[in-house]
Amino acid sequence: MDLIQVGLADRAGKLDSKLVVDTAASLNVQVMRDLAQYWPVRATVRHLPDPNSIPVGVWPVFLVETLPPGEGGIHLDDMNQPYSLVVAAPGDNEWTIDASHETLEMLIDPTGNRLQASRAIEISGNDVQDAPGEFEYLVEACDPCQANQYAYAINGIMVCDFITPHFYDPVASAAARYSFGGNIQRPRQLLPGGYLSFVDPQQQLMQQILWLDGTPQLRTLGPAPGASLRAFVDNQTMAAVKKARKPNKPLAAACDAHRAHAARAAALRGKRYTF
């Protein structure tokens, strides 16, 4: 299995540089330690100090101030190689969750076209349940559990929960894990703040169940033009998701305290060495 290299670069140049470096290091841990347990991905993540100089073979994740209207985070360059854009603003450190989200989904499905057949679903009251038939699900590994409330921390950096391949199992099993953080507890479960996108073979249209405020809603997105299904879906969904997103203040506070403690410990530890 080839090693994929991902690079995190601050294109706006307005973020805390140490936070960007630390985020790249934590994403590297997430990819090598957590993601690799469940998905056949072998990758590393590093910080790129110059966003205008991208080493050959590196898939960049650019931190930007804004996205063009109607565009999501996933893109393909002129050679059809993947890269991602993540909105990041000074003073709002929860961009690290989005950086984790885009990195993981890019690694699992670089072109954004991977479909996985599994049992169909339908809305049942304030929940999503299995239904007769089969759908082809777009493999977006973070979307069902993407809300900030389901994030977890690595070395004081907030990162996104993600589904495992067992998410598409036909039936539930007590031995299976459906998302890394354990927030999803059965196949095809959708959590508040997330969404699932799929093709119903009887309609041949891209559809989606989106659960933002209130109850889950079924949306028909239509035929998907362009080179990437994920780009098509995210372009129609990201603005609504961002608007409805709620901050995870307890986790953010815990991460701030962790980084402050780690910085003090590192400074004290540095004094132990003499040259």
Q: Three-state DSSP class for 247?
A: coil
**Rounded percentage of the chain residues whose pLDDT exceeds 70:** 98
Q: What is the pLDDT of residues 183-232, one digit of tens each?
A: 999 999 999 999 999 999 988 899 999 999 889 999 999 988 877 899 89
- Tell me which residue of 94, 104, 90, 138 sits closest to 237, measured CA to CA: 138
Q: Rounded to an integer, what distance in angstroms lies between the CA atom of residue 161 and that of residue 145? A: 6
Q: Rounded to an integer, what distance in angstroms lies between the CA atom of residue 146 and that of residue 237? A: 13
Site of tokens 């961002």: 242
Distances (CA, A) of 144 to 16, 128, 139, 196, 252: 30, 11, 10, 6, 21
Phi, psi angle pair for 100, to nearest 5°: -65, -45
Task: Determine the Cα angle at 89 with ends 104 and 13, to 5°.
Answer: 90
Phi, psi angle pair for 181, to nearest 5°: -80, -5
Answer yes or no: are the C-beta atoms of 179 and 164 closer than 8 Å.
Answer: yes
Q: Rounded to an integer, what distance in angstroms lies between the CA atom of residue 190 and that of residue 184? A: 8
Q: Three-state DSSP class for 21?
A: helix
What pLDDT is stored for residue 77 in this prediction? 85
Average pLDDT, the chain: 94
- Cα-atom radius of gyration of the chain, to the nearest Å? 19
DSSP-assigned letter for residue 93 = T
Q: Rounded to an integer, what distance in angstroms lies between the CA atom of residue 114 and that of residue 250? A: 35
Model confidence pTM above 0.75:
yes
Q: What is the pLDDT of residues 88-99, one digit of tens each?
A: 999 889 999 999
Q: Please give the span between the terminal C-alpha atoms of the chain, in angstroms, as a whole number.
A: 42
